[in-house]
Each structure stands twice: as C-alpha cells, then as structure tokens.
Amino acid sequence: MSRWTDFLTTGGEKDNRNRDSEFENDIKSRADLLEKWNAGWTYLFSALNDFTENNLHKIIYIRNQGHTVLEAINRQLAHYPYHVGKSVFIGKLIANNNWKSLSIPKGHSKVYNDENFRSRDITNILAKKCLENLKIINNKKHSKIRVFFV
C-alpha cells in the first residue's frame, strides 16, 4: 500500500512505513486477509485514477532511485507475479493431489492445442484472447486504466 499512497508526490518508502512489520503474520482470519487484499487494490486503483498522459514521464523515486511514472508502474506490476507465484506454490503444497490447475492441466496439452490451434492462425487466436480480456477491463469503473493495457 505504501507504494501507491501519494504515488506522484512521495516515494514508496514513507516515513510512517514499518517494512519489517509487513513480514509479521498478523492475519488471523479470511476476513482479515480479504480486508488487506481489498485495501491494497483500493490504493492501486485510486492512484491509477490520478494518472494522466502528462504525468507518465514525470520522475518519481522508489528507494531513492528515479523512475518515470510509467517505469514505476511496470516495476511494481512486474513484482506482483513474484507474490502470486509464492501463493500458488503454497496452495499446491496444501492441496496436494486435490490441486486444480490454473492453466492447462498436466496431460491435457494435446487436447488444449487441438481445440485452440486448429486453424493455426495464432494471430487471430491471440487477438481474440486480448479482446476478451479488454472486455473484462473496459468498464466504467476502471475506464481510465484501459490505456495501460491496450
């Protein structure tokens, strides 16, 4: 949340941030987890709503290193998969044989490829997938962020 609070005017390392406490397991319930999860996304979308084309090249600082706003967004968005990967790995360990694949299940690649690449026109397939994802993103609530994904 620190990274996205006052994103355009202050660095990610806020004076009131206690980074070490972020590694303490203070989440006691699913409700606590969802509260933190939703708060994080609220900070992100609030920051995105403040962006304009004019400030994408503005220099901001993360750990005292200058980045354009666009570089900082890309840096942060590239960091999220690291955390997602950890969560998926832990989920797989806990679920063990009950794990449901998030993509193509092991042993089903041929079926998937046969269904999705019959025409061998990968350009049309990728364009279709992108349009499907844009339909999800392109709603009134998040219309300002569409430009970053197009």
Residue-wise pLDDT for 14-25, tens only, equals: 778 888 888 888
144 within 8 A of 51, measured Cβ to Cβ: yes
Parse the chain into domains and list their residue ranges.
1-99, 101-150
Does 24 or 141 have the greater pLDDT score? 24
8 within 8 A of 55, measured Cβ to Cβ: yes
90 within 8 A of 40, measured Cβ to Cβ: no
pLDDT at 124: 65
Q: Which two tokens stand for residue 124?
A: 């049309």
- Token pair 């303490």 is found at 24
pLDDT over 90, % of the chain: 9
Instruction: Return the beta strands (E) in the chain as ranges.
Output: 59-62, 65-68
| pTM (two decimals) | 0.59
Half-sphere exposure in the Cβ direction for 46 (13 Å, CA): 13
